[in-house]
Amino acid sequence: MALTGPIVLTDHRYGKAENRVVRFYKENARHEIRDVNVSTTLRGDFEAAYTEGDQGHVLPTDTQKHMAFVFSKKPGLDTIEDYAIALAKHFVDTVEPVASARIDVDSYGWQRISIDGVEHDHSWARVGPEVRTAAVTVTAERTWVIGGIKDLVLLKSTGSEFNGFLTDEYTTLAPTDDRVLASSLVVQWRFAETEGVDWDEVYAGIRATLLELFATTYSKALQQTLYAMGTAVLERFPVLAEIRLSAPNKHHFDYDLARFEIENKGEVFWAADRPYGSIHATLARADAPDAGIAWLP
Amino acid sequence: MALTGPIVLTDHRYGKAENRVVRFYKENARHEIRDVNVSTTLRGDFEAAYTEGDQGHVLPTDTQKHMAFVFSKKPGLDTIEDYAIALAKHFVDTVEPVASARIDVDSYGWQRISIDGVEHDHSWARVGPEVRTAAVTVTAERTWVIGGIKDLVLLKSTGSEFNGFLTDEYTTLAPTDDRVLASSLVVQWRFAETEGVDWDEVYAGIRATLLELFATTYSKALQQTLYAMGTAVLERFPVLAEIRLSAPNKHHFDYDLARFEIENKGEVFWAADRPYGSIHATLARADAPDAGIAWLP
Amino acid sequence: MALTGPIVLTDHRYGKAENRVVRFYKENARHEIRDVNVSTTLRGDFEAAYTEGDQGHVLPTDTQKHMAFVFSKKPGLDTIEDYAIALAKHFVDTVEPVASARIDVDSYGWQRISIDGVEHDHSWARVGPEVRTAAVTVTAERTWVIGGIKDLVLLKSTGSEFNGFLTDEYTTLAPTDDRVLASSLVVQWRFAETEGVDWDEVYAGIRATLLELFATTYSKALQQTLYAMGTAVLERFPVLAEIRLSAPNKHHFDYDLARFEIENKGEVFWAADRPYGSIHATLARADAPDAGIAWLP
Amino acid sequence: MALTGPIVLTDHRYGKAENRVVRFYKENARHEIRDVNVSTTLRGDFEAAYTEGDQGHVLPTDTQKHMAFVFSKKPGLDTIEDYAIALAKHFVDTVEPVASARIDVDSYGWQRISIDGVEHDHSWARVGPEVRTAAVTVTAERTWVIGGIKDLVLLKSTGSEFNGFLTDEYTTLAPTDDRVLASSLVVQWRFAETEGVDWDEVYAGIRATLLELFATTYSKALQQTLYAMGTAVLERFPVLAEIRLSAPNKHHFDYDLARFEIENKGEVFWAADRPYGSIHATLARADAPDAGIAWLP
């Protein structure tokens, strides 16, 4: 098949990625910190930049960088969701060629240093590895907010099996009644509502729910665990329309000590790097508003 | 808005990621090497694993791993595209619950060690950083093949400007008639045809075209350069339906030496890490067959 | 100068790096976890392997891997220091050609998942980024233990200045009375004693001391802060002979908002990646026992 | 043992790490590129910065950054060795408190883009993964130059065995007459001479020698291969005093296809990540000048 039709620019976008903004609140001696990584992406009437090299509609990514910093000052970074909404709206409202703006924010955690139980006013230690995320998309008509968490590394030492699976001529895996279950979760949730939401409270609640369900679900497979986590989150937070969970199955293999006449009763494991299982699930409320372009990168 | 509708599993997939397969051909003393990273992803009738913990339909990812290695032996890894097609078809054809299979392959380059101009039979040095990629999706009815290259790092020391752009109150960037243009490209091309294609020849031709157009296009913006690259590839390879290009604008800033009374005529630059511009373009033939699920991850 | 003397093998070592050992204690329903990365290094009479290809003295690194796992079972991984001492002694005592053994251990932190304030018996979330380290060296005559912490990321939003520095014709930096101080610390401490030490208690105490001094020291330079941290640790823990601190100065630059007529009173910063300052200090007790080969890699 | 002696600052150093300098030569239409990562480290009379917070002797790392860029303009980056020598001497000669300066340079490779066999004047593609390195140390009296290469990834598909090794109760490894040998080499060589050396010619010769010996040495162990490489380099380049080789043994495990009744005659391997063997060797000429502080970091 030799195609001869005209060549068309079918999609395009541009922006400034990974602006490392650190914002302090210093109203009094007890400072507050916000440490974020902000990426801006614009879609709209920018074809001429591609086809003609005409920059007349192109707001420089350098300007977008400035905006990421300026907006951290005012309206500020009280929550990453409101910050991202404000920044996205600014682009849509003030830059004529912009049809939609997408703002991605990663937010890094810091814990106040405690000395003899007293929290310090202006000193912190980083906590992680987990990172809070937000992805906001704005058009002239609508706003979509996706909250999230990534690099949330969880492990349980029992309460997980893998049995009764399909087999074929290439299947050698032995069923197991007791294994280690471990993953590094990436979870994103789309809000049905984008105004009047207590973003921090919802985030804390979802995080606690994810941890709780991971711990308390007797797992017949990582798939089941993800489904239980997703279902509980949607049930407890009716403000959510949809949730997406991605989870590597970080394999822990029993180390064979029997060859050395040592018993290994689920005590010694080798944590493998690659390959790893890769499990994904999306759950949604049947009455959820449509996702529109919320998930476009 | 408080949603009350039933919770639905709207999407799911699973597989084994990053199987590091190395395959040698040893028909004679002059060995051949294929060094790949293979990920398998299955979609289909696997809901019960999520909702009930019932693995009856689930072919273990451990079995998928075995298949990735087995298929490197036969039919073999002559080209990554044919290998991925065969592996994907195997899953669709022999594993009843599978509706579609996606195989992703990264292929690492090796160059024979030369001694006094004579290539060695069985010793190589890695070359890179660029990586050749393939992403094949197969259903009972259709096959899609996406070829690609990633981590292709290119730079030109002149022949690039950035002028006449949109400005607003937050724009401070000075226009420039001469700058460094550098990027680390990720490019993927979708084939209109999946049989009878000389994958290696097309790959070599596309790679050469990308390099040529990067070098010879006088650039008014990275957008324009990407468009020129994409257009030339589609024009020269009518077997292609579509091409997607993603490119960070790896900024090189003139280092201010004037403050030390030293002239810097475009000679000394600081290569910055973050933030960076992020430019994306998709071009397609108007008469291209539809992409279907080819771009689903 | 053309050298003509004989070529001599002046140093050599070998081992198995990055054994990812996970050890659970399951005496009762409340499990315990140890998650470590273990590297073994042997020095001794292995010249013939290099010069003749004679493996007669070479214990395979595969065997060393087995030992790293076996020793996690018994004597076990109660503390990484005692585990490493036992493993190192095993090599020195039972493998005839071994003159010295070095064991490096990285220990990753896990926190029990809490549900309504109740800690779960067998489920954890990873905490970090900080990693506890140990480096133990054993010969037939002596044992050296080096404890440590790495990737300890600290930041203070005030209480740091940089003034009165040396200037030359290439100095453009403005003195500052108030800046952000941030670093990602690597600290190692050598024990004067290797028996009867409560490793966990000392570790917790040193960690708390490092955080406290970082927070409470008014900093005239990162050098001064490191010195204050090191001095306090040695003073509070007379069981220590020496402490080494390495610290990148992770620069946070005031973002210039004045050009947009916005005041930035130490509130908005750009966190830069590269380049970064790099500061190192070693402090020791004058009456410390000699380090011998403790710091050999 | 409770130590009570005074606490002494026994070692310290500071500098600016990872200055990403890109230098072009544009004497005519055919430009030249140098792409380097430069780190400066100063030792000397800086105790007061640590003990008193007195910066009077401290040349800011910001100034050191400027110097890294300034010196790329003049004397320039013709070779990284001469550049580093000049930069180090500048610090020692003009900054009074400096006792010694160490300059580390990583140099990234670029290849001109060729179009129909014609090299382009000002466009390049990155080549790697290998990186050329230099580490220069200068005092008022002496200069040491260490050249090097890192991330040189080599593999041979036969011509490697591992036999006749020491065994103990924990040894399960089977001897092998034919295996894959692969590594990612870090090699550094210390020059006996620091003037009048053709740095580029020596580098090219050493690189070729390393590749040749890796390919042509029938390997009874990675140790033997390293020794052969090191010996050949010292023999061919009498200007060298010493060479250090570090090499992970990147294990490639035969994939067991026999369980599927498929023969695997050294054709299909799994490339493992961790753990890996870790082999190190240092060779020197017996009549080499002393290393002094050349290897201090």
pLDDT in tens, D111-166: 999 999 999 999 999 999 999 999 999 999 999 999 999 999 999 999 999 999 99
* Residue C1 pLDDT greater than 90, yes or no: no
Q: What is the pLDDT of residue C217?
A: 98
Residues on chain C touching D35 (C-beta within 8 angstroms):
none
- Mutation target to probe the A interface, by most A beta carbons within 10 A, among C30, C108, C119, C126 is C126
Rounded Cα distance, C287 and A106, in Å: 49
C61 belongs to the catalytic site: yes
Under DSSP, the state recorded for C76 is: I
Residues on chain D touching C54 (C-beta within 8 angstroms):
164, 220
The vertex-A26 CA angle with A20 and A30, nearest 5°, equals 110
Q: In this predicted complex, what is the ipTM?
A: 0.97
Q: What is the pLDDT of residue C242?
A: 98
> What is the chain A residue with the closest CA to D171?
A260
pTM for the model: 0.98
Asked if D151 and D201 sit in the same domain, the reply is yes
Read off the pLDDT of each residue in A48-52 and give the average, rounded to a whole number.
98
D231 belongs to the catalytic site: no
Residue A1 lies in a domain: no
Read off the pLDDT of each residue in A163-185 and give the average, rounded to a whole number.
97
Residue D6 lies in a domain: no
Q: What percent of chain B has pLDDT over 70?
A: 100
Read off the pLDDT of each residue in C13-29 and give the average, rounded to a whole number.
98
In 10 A of CB A55, how many CB atoms?
22
Asked if C82 and C173 sit in the same domain, the reply is no
Boundary-marking domain end, from D113, D139, D165: D139
Asked if A199 and A89 sit in the same domain, the reply is no
The residues on A that touch D, with CB distances below 8 Å, are 169-170, 172, 259-260, 273-274
Boundary-marking domain end, from C93, C126, C141: C141
Tokens 């970074």 — which residue?
A77
Rounded Cα distance, B260 and C49, in Å: 56
Asked if A132 and A161 sit in the same domain, the reply is no
Distance from CA of D209 to the nearest CA of B (A): 9
Cβ contact (<8 Å) for D95 and C239? no
pLDDT of A98-143, one tens digit each?
Answer: 999 999 999 999 999 999 999 999 999 999 999 999 999 999 999 9
* Residue A1 pLDDT greater than 90, yes or no: no
Supply the CATH number for residue A200's domain: 3.10.270.10
Cβ contact (<8 Å) for D49 and C282? no
pLDDT of C117-167, one tens digit each?
Answer: 999 999 999 999 999 999 999 999 999 999 999 999 999 999 999 999 999
What total of structural domains would you count in chain C?
2
* Residue C219 pLDDT greater than 90, yes or no: yes
pLDDT of D38-58, one tens digit each?
Answer: 999 999 999 999 999 999 999
Q: Return the number of CB contacts < 8 Å for B and D.
A: 181
Asked if C156 and C180 sit in the same domain, the reply is yes
Q: Which of A73, A153, A215 sits opposite C268 (nearest CB)?
A: A73
**Residue-number span of the structural domain to which C112 is assigned:** 12-141
Q: What is the pLDDT of residue A179?
A: 97
Q: What percent of chain A has pLDDT over 70?
A: 100
Residue A238 · residue A191 · CB < 8 Å: no
* Residue B216 pLDDT greater than 90, yes or no: yes
Q: What is the pLDDT of residue D195?
A: 95
Read off the pLDDT of each residue in B255-284 and give the average, rounded to a whole number.
98
Residues shown for chain C: 297
Rounded Cα distance, D204 and C138, in Å: 41
Residue A223 · residue B50 · CB < 8 Å: yes
DSSP states along D231-288:
HHHHHH-TTEEEEEEEEEE--EEEP--GGGT---SS-EEEE--SSEEEEEEEEEETTP
Q: What is the pLDDT of residue C185?
A: 98
* Residue A34 pLDDT greater than 90, yes or no: yes
DSSP states along D161-226:
-B-S----TT--PPPBSS--EEEEEEEEEEES--SS--HHHHHHHHHHHHHHHHHHSPBSSHHHHH
Read off the pLDDT of each residue in B22-44 and give the average, rounded to a whole number.
98
Rounded Cα distance, A257 and A278, in Å: 28
User: If pLDDT is split at 50, 70 and 90, which confidence band does D11 have?
Assistant: very high
Q: What is the pLDDT of residue C175?
A: 97
Burial of C216 (0-12, 13-18, 19+ CB in 10 A): middle
3-state secondary structure of C234: helix
Asked if B75 and B159 sit in the same domain, the reply is no
Asked if B36 and B92 sit in the same domain, the reply is yes
Distance from CA of C97 to the nearest CA of A (A): 23
Neighbour subunits, A (≥3 Cβ pairs < 8 A): B, C, D
Distance from CA of D261 to the nearest CA of A (A): 10
Q: What is the pLDDT of residue A13?
A: 98
Token digits of residue A120: 């310090």
Q: What is the pLDDT of residue A70?
A: 98
Q: What is the pLDDT of residue B108?
A: 98
Cβ contact (<8 Å) for D125 and B123? no
Asked if C17 and C108 sit in the same domain, the reply is yes
User: If pLDDT is split at 50, 70 and 90, which confidence band does C261 have?
Assistant: very high
Residues on chain D touching A169 (C-beta within 8 angstroms):
260
User: If pLDDT is split at 50, 70 and 90, which confidence band does A195 have?
Assistant: very high
Under DSSP, the state recorded for B259 is: G
Using a CB cutoff of 8 Å and minimum separation of 24, what contacts does C141-144 make?
C142/C292, C143/C85, C143/C88, C143/C89, C143/C194, C144/C190, C144/C191, C144/C194, C144/C291, C144/C292, C144/C293, C144/C294
Residue A115 · residue C216 · CB < 8 Å: yes
User: If pLDDT is split at 50, 70 and 90, which confidence band does D1 have?
Assistant: confident
* Residue C81 pLDDT greater than 80, yes or no: yes
Residues on chain A touching C78 (C-beta within 8 angstroms):
none
Boundary-marking domain end, from B139, B171, B187: B139
Q: What is the pLDDT of residue B1?
A: 77
Asked if D22 and D125 sit in the same domain, the reply is yes
Q: What is the pLDDT of residue D65?
A: 98
Token digits of residue A259: 């060859």
User: If pLDDT is split at 50, 70 and 90, which confidence band does B121 have?
Assistant: very high
Asked if B25 and B112 sit in the same domain, the reply is yes
Residue A57 lies in a domain: yes
User: If pLDDT is split at 50, 70 and 90, which confidence band does B244 have?
Assistant: very high
Annotated active-site residue in D16, D65, D156, D250 = D16
pLDDT of C222-258, one tens digit each?
Answer: 999 999 999 999 999 999 999 999 999 999 999 999 9
Residue A167 lies in a domain: yes
